[in-house]
Amino acid sequence: MPLGLLKYGFSKRHPAPRALPPRPELKESYDVVIVGGGGHGLAAAYYLSKVHGITNIAVIDKGYLAGGNTARNTAIIRSNYLTPEGVRFYDESVRLYQGLSNEFDFNILYSERGHLTLAHTDASLRTMRWRAEVNSHCGVDSELVYPDEIARLVPSLNLSPDVRYPVLGALHHKPGAIARHDAVAWGYAIGAASRGVELHTRTEVTGFGIENGAVTSVVTDRGTVRCGVVLQAVAGSSSRVAALAGFKLPIRTVPLQACVSQPLKPFLDPIVVSGSLHCYVSQSSRGELVMGGSVDPYSLYQQRSTLDFKEGLMANMLELFPFLSGVRLLRQWAGIADMTPDFSPVMGETPIRNYWLDSGWGTWGFKATPVCGKRMAETVATGKVPDILDPFRLDRFERFDLVGEGGAASVGH
Ligand code: FAD
Ligand code: PYC
């Protein structure tokens, strides 16, 4: 290596700019403590500081910044849901995503690809038609397409009628997109930190002080802080953290795995999902195939990968794209998904006063990061749940007023 280059490398005169300030000491008190420094917690901090002028905020995360499900998801963004409540909510998120690189002045690699949910049976064709109708009614661009159009959109897809599950049609959702998940979290973190929000990574919340039914302090492994308001945004740890505050959530927690292949020349533009074959795939800007399938069939707080998942997923993938049989896998990983009975999130009030909830994100929460951050910030700042979040309240389970999204949840469960 040339000496000049080595000297340049070690020179202190050209240090890389530090995007985020170092972790400070915990203060005695904050107006808002956000538990969970994933995309959701960071987005809420960003909108609280930017839109509502609330900056005395600590975002507390037990690991590194956005190292939970935000770092582990497959970054699919779409609003082709089944219920009007779901479609409106996710549509607001898609619109926010479309402007996010400009808003941050930081490229989140938002890439609009179109999203195809394949139907292999008459029953799933019926569901796709239903989704297309609800989507159109809410102003969202989704339509039912048939094999000739699918062949045009994905020429490499096996559309032979002589397979186990022939493709009969698909829901085509043109706004379906992918983005760089880390960039989304970093954009929100940088924006929040630049307005004075403190980011406390490697700090675990271990309890809450509750007086007369209201939260008054947060206990961490680095000390206790007083707080005006708590926002819980811990995705796959929601039941555990809620238990620290003394309430229960209707959540079942399961691992969700994914993997990527070696990079290939671009051949796949849309995101392709098959409910019957329990698999989905998109091609990243680096050429890797980003693939996933069903959640693991047992409850577990574990982020380990299994051979079982890989074998099952590849068998199904090869039915759709037989020519991929020689392709190698590069990485496999898992996250932890908090599944709700109706496959919709749980946001808003809890039995504890001043303790707000952002949870129940199962396998679907990355796409909701901007809308959830923005609307939870509004909730925390005003003390009122906005209309768009109202259908997702925790007490819907007592009222049997569910927001059933099982037919639009993308991965099997
Ligand atoms: P996280 O990013 O998990 O952040 C929560 C944070 O809370 C973590 O960083 C954790 O360390 C912290 N925490 C937990 N307990 C404590 C504690 N006691 N004290 C302090 N901190 C704590 N969604 C989509 O929309 N599209 C997809 O394509 C998609 N694909 C997925 C693929 C996989 C394999 C997985 C696992 C999930 C997928 N999801 C997808 C779901 C999505 O990843 C999540 O819903 C979303 O990332 C949740 O974001 P979050 O900020 O709420 O959670
Ligand atoms: O919500 O679209 C989604 C999704 C795809 C894979 C995991 N979640």
* Ligand 2 atom nearest residue 273's Cα: 5
- What is the Å distance from ligand 1's center to 69 Cα? 3
- What is the Å distance from ligand 1's center to 376 Cα? 16
Assign 389 a pLDDT band (cuts: 50, 70, 90). Answer: very high
Task: For residues 2-12, give the mean pLDDT.
Answer: 82
Q: Nearest C-alpha to atom 45 of ligand 1 is from which residue?
A: 365
pLDDT tens, residue by residue, 16-60: 778 899 999 999 999 999 999 999 999 999 999 999 999 999 999
- What is the Å distance from ligand 2's center to 367 Cα? 8
Task: Pinpoint the residues of the chain covered by CATH 3.30.9.10.
Answer: 112-175+253-339
Which ligand number lies closest to the CA of residue 242? 1
Superfamily (CATH H level) for 112-175+253-339:
D-Amino Acid Oxidase, subunit A, domain 2 (3.30.9.10)
Residue 12 has pLDDT above 90, yes or no: no
Looking at residue 367, its pLDDT comes to 98
Task: For residues 211-235, give the mean pLDDT.
Answer: 98
pLDDT tens, residue by residue, 275-327: 899 999 999 999 999 999 999 999 999 999 999 999 999 999 999 999 999 99
pTM for this predicted structure = 0.96
Residue 227 burial by Cβ neighbours in a 10 Å radius (0-12, 13-18, 19+): buried
Task: Pinpoint the residues of the chain covered by CATH 3.50.50.60.
Answer: 25-111+176-250+342-413
pLDDT tens, residue by residue, 71-104: 999 999 999 999 999 999 999 999 999 999 999 9
Q: Which overall architecture, per CATH, does domain 25-111+176-250+342-413 show?
A: 3-Layer(bba) Sandwich (3.50)
Residue 373 has pLDDT above 80, yes or no: yes
Q: Nearest C-alpha to atom 5 of ligand 1 is from which residue?
A: 234
Query: Which of 81, 366, 413 to probe ligand 1 with, by most ligand atoms within 8 A of CB?
Result: 366
Which ligand number lies closest to the CA of residue 340? 1
Assign 413 a pLDDT band (cuts: 50, 70, 90). Answer: low
Task: For residues 216-243, give the mean pLDDT.
Answer: 98
Pocket (CB within 6 angstroms of ligand 1): 35-41, 60-63, 66-70, 72-76, 204-205, 233-237, 241, 256-258, 292, 335, 337, 361, 363-367
- What is the Å distance from ligand 1's center to 36 Cα? 9
